[in-house]
């Protein structure tokens, strides 16, 4: 016998799944909180909140978590001071990257994003450094996304490095969306 236990393998896989689900729940709660903070707690009058709640339901976010996020943003329990951030960067192969996020601490998020970029052959640029390569468009009702004006192709090696970068950014709790001009 090799010493591996089927039960331990299942437990390990379940832990990974639970961790990813927790990250998604955390990100969705931040989106809901920010929407409620900006437009009020009523989804009938706050379109951004309604869309965020619909997205959260698609990810099976429990109703209690949604209510807690709204309550937290409107001052019920320890009101969070969430703010939206947009970071601009260049990645492997010279691709342009727009990173949208929601954070309680802009400086901490900036340092974390810089570190992830540095570790994955990317670099942060100043405001407007890559934004001119993108435009805001409605992709799904109620949500604006950054769409590249022109896509670029990179080598297979750079694509693999880009994917590692995207995975690392996605694991950061502050990051909500990653937009790039990488040709698929």
Q: Are 34 and 84 in contact (CB under 8 A)?
A: yes
Percent of the chain with pLDDT strictly greater than 70 = 88
Among 46-50, 153-157, 165-169, the least confident range: 46-50
Asked if pLDDT for residue 129 goes beyond 80, the answer is yes
Task: Write the DSSP string, 45-113.
Answer: T-HHHHHHHHHHHHTT--HHHHHHHHHHHTTSSS----EEEEEEEE-GGG-EEEEEEEES-HHHHHHHH
Token pair in block for residue 41: 């707690």
Asked if pLDDT for residue 142 goes beyond 80, the answer is no
- The overall average pLDDT reported for the chain is 84
H helix and E strand count, the chain: 5, 6
Structural domains in the chain, sorted by start: 6-73 (1.10.10.200), 83-180 (3.30.70.980)
Token pair in block for residue 159: 């694509």
The pLDDT, as a whole number, for residue 80 is: 61
Q: In angstroms, rounded to a whole number, what is the distance separating the alpha carbons of residues 103 and 175?
A: 8
Higher pLDDT: 118 or 17? It is 118
Listed residue (48, 1, 58) closest to 25, CA to CA = 58
- Which residues, other chains included, contact 153 with Cβ-Cβ below 8 Å and sequence gap of 6+? 183
Higher pLDDT: 46 or 14? It is 46
Encode pLDDT of 44-70 as tens digits: 888 888 888 888 888 888 888 888 888
Q: In angstroms, rounded to a whole number, what is the distance separating the alpha carbons of residues 30 and 72?
A: 10
Encode pLDDT of 76-117 as tens digits: 554 467 788 999 999 999 999 999 998 889 999 999 999 999
């Amino acid at each position: 016998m090799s010493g591996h236990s089927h039960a331990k393998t299942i437990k390990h896989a379940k832990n990974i799944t639970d961790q990813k689900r927790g990250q998604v729940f955390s990100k969705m709660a931040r989106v809901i909180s920010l929407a409620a903070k900006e437009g009020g707690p009523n989804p009938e009058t706050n379109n951004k909140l309604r869309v965020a709640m619909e997205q959260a339901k698609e990810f099976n976010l429990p109703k209690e978590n949604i209510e807690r996020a709204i309550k937290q943003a409107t001052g019920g329990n320890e009101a969070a001071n969430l703010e939206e951030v947009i970071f601009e960067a260049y990645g492997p192969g010279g691709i342009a990257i727009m990173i949208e996020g929601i954070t309680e601490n802009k400086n901490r998020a900036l340092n974390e994003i810089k570190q992830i970029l540095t570790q994955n052959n990317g670099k942060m640029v100043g405001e407007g450094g890559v934004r001119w390569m993108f435009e805001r468009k409605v992709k799904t009702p109620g949500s604006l996304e950054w769409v590249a004006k022109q896509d670029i192709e990179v080598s297979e090696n750079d694509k693999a490095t880009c994917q590692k970068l995207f995975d690392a950014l996605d694991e950061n709790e502050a990051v909500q969306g990653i937009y790039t001009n990488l040709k698929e």
